[in-house]
Chain A
Amino acid sequence: MNPAKTLYYNISDTWTITKRNLLRYVRLPQLLVFSSIQPVMFLLLFNFVFGGAIGDAPQVPGGKYINFLLPAIMVQVTMFGGLQTGIGLAEDMSKGIIDRFRSLPMSRIAVIAGRTFSDTLRNVAVAAIILSVGSLLGFRFHEGFAHAAAMVGLILLFGYALSWIFALIGMSVREAETAQVAGFLLIFPLIFASAAFVPLQSMPDWLQVFVRNQPITFVVDAARELSFGMNSHGAPLKALLWALGILAIMMPLAIWQYRRRSN
């Protein structure tokens, strides 16, 4: 097949799979409702439980904890959104749907590319909900529209990169429950051993070394710089490089795994 046709089918098949994945939210709207309740719950709990304990946040504009909290919550829920990629692929695999797709003359990247893309579109919806609820709680962007858009874009891009990691996990474990547990094992240490929720200085020295250099800290710091101008020592660039680096490694690995899966 000529390259132009291959490219065309890569795109059109990916879009077909994307629509197929999104259709389940049309058929079962409660899925979308539940997948947005959890992030909103996190936002409310952290804001009123930790926010109350921490009190005013003097380094943040207006001293409002929500301005400090929301970027971290957004990173967290995007990570959980990426986890859905692994769960969805493992589910399709255990039901034999991936076998059906692999026996079709369709693009070899479309099943995973469509899944990661549809999960990113869902993340867009969840991010919009978080921002809306956040604004009711007093969250504001302080650096103008371009920085605000860059913050949301960076978080979504990072979530997209993570969903390729979860894609590889999902393709490897084959069962939705296992994919979920494996995903949690990856997410929890990264999100809690980061600068997301508590100050670095409260952690033991050895842990600080890890926390300072792990990607979630970069993404959260970058989001805070872009939303309220916190000095993050170049975190946006580091976060961007991490996202691109993960994609460069995980995309070929996940697709290779898809091609060889049943051997």
Chain B
Amino acid sequence: MPKAFEVKEVTKGFGDVKALDGVSLEAEEGRVFGLLGPNGAGKTTLVRMLSTLLRPDSGTLKILGEDVVKNPQAVRNLIGLAGQYAAVDEYLTGYENIYVTGRLYHLSHAEAKKRTNSLLERLGLSDAAKRPVRTYSGGMRRRLDLGASLVGQPKVLFLDEPTTGLDPKTRLDLWTIIRELIAQGTSILLTTQYLEEADELADTIAVMNNGKVIAQGTSDTLKAQLGGEIVEFSLDRPSDQAAALQAVKKLAKTPPNFDSATQQVRVPVHDGSKSLMGIVQELNDAKISVATLSLHQPSLDDVFLALTGSKTAPIAPTKKAKRGTR
């Protein structure tokens, strides 16, 4: 059975910048594949290639077995693209935006009309259907953009940072809509900077950084890479930092570290509560007093930190870099 998409050894450079540096990925049909990474990681470049907007320097990309470079028109019949910036026409109404896109998928007038009305209904835009998009809010535009990407009933849907820049409430609304799509069996490639979003929606997650895939798996397997559990504590006296790291080292699964943002020592451990008690003992013996102490399951944030050595908070992109990869 062909994969929803298949990416092999793909590279792409923009001038001196290597946007993609030997990326290989594949996704089963009917699943949600999450592509996670900070700004500039190469996510959008990959989506642009898979949606035939950009050619790779080398490597191959296939959608349901069709080669993106050799047979782009066949690929375009299989895909839908909802971009990072809602690509809607301000001057047209919501209805007209989706209808025109439907006609350009070569649907008949009647079919385009039928699908447009049903999509507007599903996206909660029926009441606004006859209003020019100029009057729409940011969340409504994203929903409309999503509607336009669905009118061709794509087998593979690309959602490039669908909720970036939206407020939390609107983001939750959009997640609900995406979950409905998932339930219908559409294969989805979702890119996001939000770990929570990938965790919520994706079956498989690939983590990208600097044009490379640095980890891949389900959110559970990614979490398991850190051994499951982490003990975190903060110190009464910051000067104890080095001594504390030394004291807990033998109980740690991987070397403990000090997170300067939260001012906490983080210790990945093998055996949750037992390790926690051991750590308390060690700190006590070393006469280090702690202000707070906790044991928790790692979040994808922890995974990202461990993989890239940096926080997930994206480095602000320069305007040029952003345009180059769009």
- List A residues at the B interface (Cβ < 8 Å): 1, 9, 12-13, 16-17, 19-20, 23-24, 27-28, 95-97, 99-106, 110, 262-263
Contact = CB atoms under 8 A, between A and B. Distances in A.
Nearest to B14: A263
A87 B269 CA distance: 60
B247 interface: no
B54 A262 contact: yes
Interface of B: 48, 51-55, 73, 76-77, 79, 81, 83-93, 96, 100-101, 103-106, 132, 148-149, 152, 326
B55, B86, B89, most chain A CB atoms within 10 A: B89
B87 A104 contact: no
A215 to B, nearest CB: 33
A100 B81 contact: yes
Contacts of A27: 91-93, 132
Contact of A20 (B73, B92, B106): B92
Contacts, number: 81
Given A24-B92, A96-B87, A103 B53 contact: yes
B104 A104 contact: yes
Nearest to B80: A103
A23 B51 CA distance: 28
B51 A20 contact: no
B85 A95 contact: yes
Contacts of A262: 48, 53-54, 326
8 contacts: A12-B106, A23-B91, A27-B132, A99-B87, A105-B76, A106-B104, A262-B326, A263-B55
Nearest to B154: A103
Contacts of B106: 9, 12, 105-106
Given A99-B53, A100-B101, A1 B87 contact: no
A12, A13, A24, most chain B CB atoms within 10 A: A24
Contacts of A12: 106
Nearest to A13: B104
A256 to B, nearest CB: 14
Nearest to B77: A105
Nearest to B45: A262
B129 to A, nearest CB: 14
Pairs of residues from A and B, 5 with the lowest C-beta to C-beta distance, nearest first: A24-B91, A96-B87, A105-B76, A100-B87, A106-B104
A186 B283 CA distance: 76
Contacts of B88: 97
Contacts of B81: 99-100, 103
A106 B93 CA distance: 21
A101 to B, nearest CB: 7
A16 B81 CA distance: 20
A263 B54 contact: yes
B157 to A, nearest CB: 11
B92 A23 contact: yes
B102 to A, nearest CB: 10
A20, A102, A105, most chain B CB atoms within 10 A: A105
A28, A99, A102, most chain B CB atoms within 10 A: A99
B100 A20 contact: yes
A112 to B, nearest CB: 14
Nearest to A15: B103
B28 to A, nearest CB: 23
A247 B152 CA distance: 34
A105 B89 CA distance: 19
A7 to B, nearest CB: 14
A178 to B, nearest CB: 13
A16 B91 contact: no
Contacts of A13: 104
Contacts of A110: 104
A20 B76 CA distance: 21
Nearest to B158: A103
Given A103-B52, A263-B55, A1 B73 contact: yes
B204 to A, nearest CB: 23
Contacts of B148: 100
Contact of A96 (B55, B76, B85, B104): B85
